[in-house]
Amino acid sequence: MAAKNRSKDIFPSIYNKGLWTKAIAHLSKKDRVLASLIKRMGRIEVNWGGDSYESLISAIIYQQISGSAGDSIEKKFKSLYNGKMPSPKKFLETPENKVRSAGISPQKYSYLKDLCTRIIDGRLELKKFDSMEDEDIIEELDEVRGIGRWTAEMFLMFSLGRTNIVPRDDLGIKKAIKNTYCLRDYPTGSKFSELAEKWAPYGTIASLYLWRSTDVKTPKKIE
């Protein structure tokens, strides 16, 4: 499903099939280790994407829990609104105890409330993200309660389809780099910088291959 809020003209997108040919050629040329991984795995499919607001709601719901638990809670949450994500206004009109009945913790309720409040009062304008640089988006989202850099990076990758995101705090990426590059331990900041420089401007595609190499279906932040 293509992301509704993504601008194809301003920023390239991982959902553009033509981009993958260029990305794979670039990554294979710049990084022999990654080239071997790409050759072994072949072309991988990307099926993420979606409305920016709904993606952020989902990101908050899924924080710090398993994918199956997140699926269950999100389904119960949507059932409060006839199977759909509520608009920010509709959410704010819903009594807290009703939202909590879907399995939303008090902390996550406060995160969702802050997100919806910021959208309603104009402090957070999601439509502007189409024309904003990655770091500027991360900075804006970091102002929202409960959304840190990792969540913002997942949003950039899977909702906006940005091509050059390497999530340094992601456990799956750290494990995959350690295994793929035969490191004794998780990669250091300098190693991450070295690899990210090689992969640019296709760090997202490199990250996707690394996740798949360890059969990691759901990105997971390091606790």
10 occurs within a structural domain: no
User: pLDDT digit string (tens) for 123-166?
Assistant: 999 999 999 999 999 999 999 999 999 999 999 998 999 999 99
Asked if residue 140 and residue 68 are part of one domain, the reply reads: yes
The highest-confidence range among 11-20, 183-192, 210-219, by mean pLDDT, is 183-192
User: pLDDT category, 49, cuts 50, 70, 90?
Assistant: low
127 occurs within a structural domain: yes
Asked if residue 120 and residue 76 are part of one domain, the reply reads: yes
Domain termination residue (choose one: 158, 183, 199): 158
Residue predicted with more confidence, 178 or 44: 178
Per cent of the chain over pLDDT 90 is 75
221 occurs within a structural domain: no
pLDDT surpasses 60 at 193: yes
Asked if residue 57 and residue 40 are part of one domain, the reply reads: no
pLDDT for the residue 78: 97
Which residue, 60, 212, 223, is CA-closest to 146? 60
Q: How many domains does the chain have?
A: 2
78 occurs within a structural domain: yes
75 occurs within a structural domain: yes
pLDDT for the residue 45: 80
8 occurs within a structural domain: no
pLDDT surpasses 70 at 221: no
Asked if residue 208 and residue 121 are part of one domain, the reply reads: no
Distance CA 14, CA 152 (A): 17
pTM listed for this prediction:
0.85
Asked if residue 195 and residue 174 are part of one domain, the reply reads: yes
Asked if residue 104 and residue 39 are part of one domain, the reply reads: no
pLDDT for the residue 46: 78
What is the arithmetic mean of pLDDT over 63-67?
82
218 occurs within a structural domain: no
Per cent of the chain over pLDDT 70 is 91
Asked if residue 152 and residue 65 are part of one domain, the reply reads: yes
Minimum mean pLDDT range among 40-49, 75-84, 187-196: 40-49
Which residue, 121, 122, 123, 150, is CA-closest to 138? 150
CB 55 within 8 Å of CB 4: no
* Domain harbouring 35, CATH code: 1.10.1670.40
pLDDT for the residue 66: 81
pLDDT surpasses 90 at 53: yes
Question: Domain limits at 170?
Answer: 17-47+166-213
Asked if residue 33 and residue 128 are part of one domain, the reply reads: no
Asked if residue 143 and residue 188 are part of one domain, the reply reads: no
Asked if residue 121 and residue 37 are part of one domain, the reply reads: no
CB 45 within 8 Å of CB 51: no
pLDDT for the residue 64: 82
Asked if residue 56 and residue 154 are part of one domain, the reply reads: yes
